Amino acid sequence: MEAFLKRPFLPYICVVLIWGVSCFIQKQLTLFYYVAGVSLLYLPAGIRTLSVFVLGFKGALAVFAGSLLTILFEFPYLKSTADDVLWAIGVAAVSAFSAFVAMKAVKYWKKIPPTLEGLTMRDVVYIVISQGLVSSTLHQLLFHFNDVADEYINHTMEQALVYWAAMATGDILGSMFVLLSVMIVYQIYVKQH
């Protein structure tokens, strides 16, 4: 693993590719679709969390790149106006850097060292929940003020809160699903070797 992480660009290219694959898989999981930009189980949130855990700020940069690319596919009706480009950059930045900031805040609050020594499952849950809440809040503000889809045009405060809660739930469940899956695969790998 250390040899993989020491390669100059390979981990970051992998994050961008894995982000894209997770977004493709997410599109197939129509059962979890709620409204535009919101899913009740959002797997890319787990990739975002894992990238920030493993690669730190550089992982957030890779998620930013992957997110920006997928936004262009997720919202194909965006025009190439300056406002649309700024909106896409804003959404990608929220996606990537809200996770990084939330993780840094929880690590500071819980006194978790950069090496993640002493990290407990409870700490992971704090990080995942804080990332889900921060990300969904900022995303929903961007969606609300930019009428990104029909669901966001002239919607009530109650609808806005429901969309926010659905997005927070999807981010939290998606992150926990991916992190627990990676932990299980890692444990199986360690037992095999």
DSSP 115-143: T-TT--HHHHHHHHHHHHHHHHHHHHHHH
Q: Tell me: the pLDDT tens digits for 22-31?
A: 988 998 999 9
pLDDT band at 4; cut points 50, 70, 90: low
d(Cα 113, Cα 107) in Å, to the nearest integer? 7
3-state DSSP call for residue 115? Answer: coil
Between 1 and 109, the higher pLDDT residue? 109
d(Cα 94, Cα 34) in Å, to the nearest integer? 20
Instruction: Tally the domains of the chain.
Output: 1
Kindly provide the b/e burial profile for residues 53-68, where b requires at least 16 CB atoms within 10 angstroms of the residue's own CB: bbbeebbbbbbbbbbb
Q: What is the pTM of this model?
A: 0.88
Q: Take residue 181 and report the two structure tokens written for it.
A: 């899956």
Section 131-157 average pLDDT: 85
pLDDT band at 5; cut points 50, 70, 90: low
State the burial class of residue 100 (Cβ atoms within 10 Å of its Cβ: 0-12, 13-18, 19+).
buried
Contact 55, 12 (CB under 8 A): yes
Q: Tell me: the pLDDT tens digits for 112-124?
A: 888 878 888 999 9
Contact 66, 145 (CB under 8 A): no
3-state DSSP call for residue 186? Answer: helix
Strands 33-35 and 38-39: antiparallel
- Which residue in the block uniquely carries the two structure tokens 């950059």? 89
State the burial class of residue 101 (Cβ atoms within 10 Å of its Cβ: 0-12, 13-18, 19+).
middle
DSSP state, residue 8: S
Q: Tell me: the pLDDT tens digits for 57-108?
A: 999 999 999 999 888 777 666 656 677 788 889 989 999 999 999 999 999 9
Q: Tell me: the pLDDT tens digits for 9-20?
A: 777 888 888 888
CA distances from residue 91 to 112, 121, 179, 189 in whole angstroms, order as listed: 28, 29, 23, 36
From the CB of residue 73, how many other CB atoms can be counted at a distance below 10 Å? Answer: 11
Write out the residue range of the structural domain in which residue 159 sits: 2-192
The CATH number of residue 157's host domain is 1.10.1760
